[in-house]
Amino acid sequence: MAAGFDGFPALEWIRDITSVTGALAAWDQGALVDVAVGKGWDVVRLPRALGWRTLDHMRQAGTPVGPAQHTPFGVEVLVPVGSAAEWHLPDTEVLTEGSIAVPHPATVAPHTQQAHTWIVSPQECGPLTDADLLHEAYAAALAATHMDGAR
C-alpha cells in the first residue's frame, strides 16, 4: 500500500495493516478492529460537526472523498502518508503513528458499531482523500461557521 495505492477493493485495504481473518472474526463479534496509522495512510481528525460539514462541502464540489469515519473523537479521514504533515488548523489533529479503531466496512451512517460509523466506507470509494483539498474544505467550513456565528 505505498505510492501505487489506487483504491480500496473489498477487504484488500486492510491486508497489509492487519490480518483479514482476524478482522472478520472481530467484526462478526461486534468488535472494532485496530488498524495501523502511518503505514498505508495517515489520519486527519476533525471536530464532529465541522468534519461532517467539510465532507459535505467536498462532495457538493465534486471532490473525491476517500474513507472517513465518525467516532467518539471526531471525524477521521484517511489521507496519504505524510500529506498532512504541515496542517495547522484549529481543532484538528494529524495522526501519523499508532492505530485507529474501525467498524466493519458495511457499517455506514446511520448504523453504528460501538459508536463508530463510516461516513464514506472503504468499500464504496476510490483513493485516499487529498490532504490539500481536505485542508481547503475544512478552512472553508471553519470560516463559514464563524460567519454563521457572527450573524
pLDDT at position 19 is: 73
Count other C-beta atoms under 10 Å from residue 126's C-beta: 12
Q: Does the pLDDT at position 53 exceed 90?
A: yes
Residue type, 125: C
Q: Does the pLDDT at position 17 exceed 60?
A: no
Under DSSP, the state recorded for 130 is P
In a domain, 2, yes or no: no
In a domain, 105, yes or no: yes
Is-contact 128 39, C-beta < 8 A? no
Q: Does the pLDDT at position 75 exceed 60?
A: yes
Count up the domains in the chain and report the number: 1
Count other C-beta atoms under 10 Å from residue 127's C-beta: 14
In a domain, 4, yes or no: no
pLDDT at position 148 is: 61
pTM score: 0.87
- Which residue range(s) make up the domain with 36? 12-150
Strand duo 68-71 + 99-102: pairing: unpaired
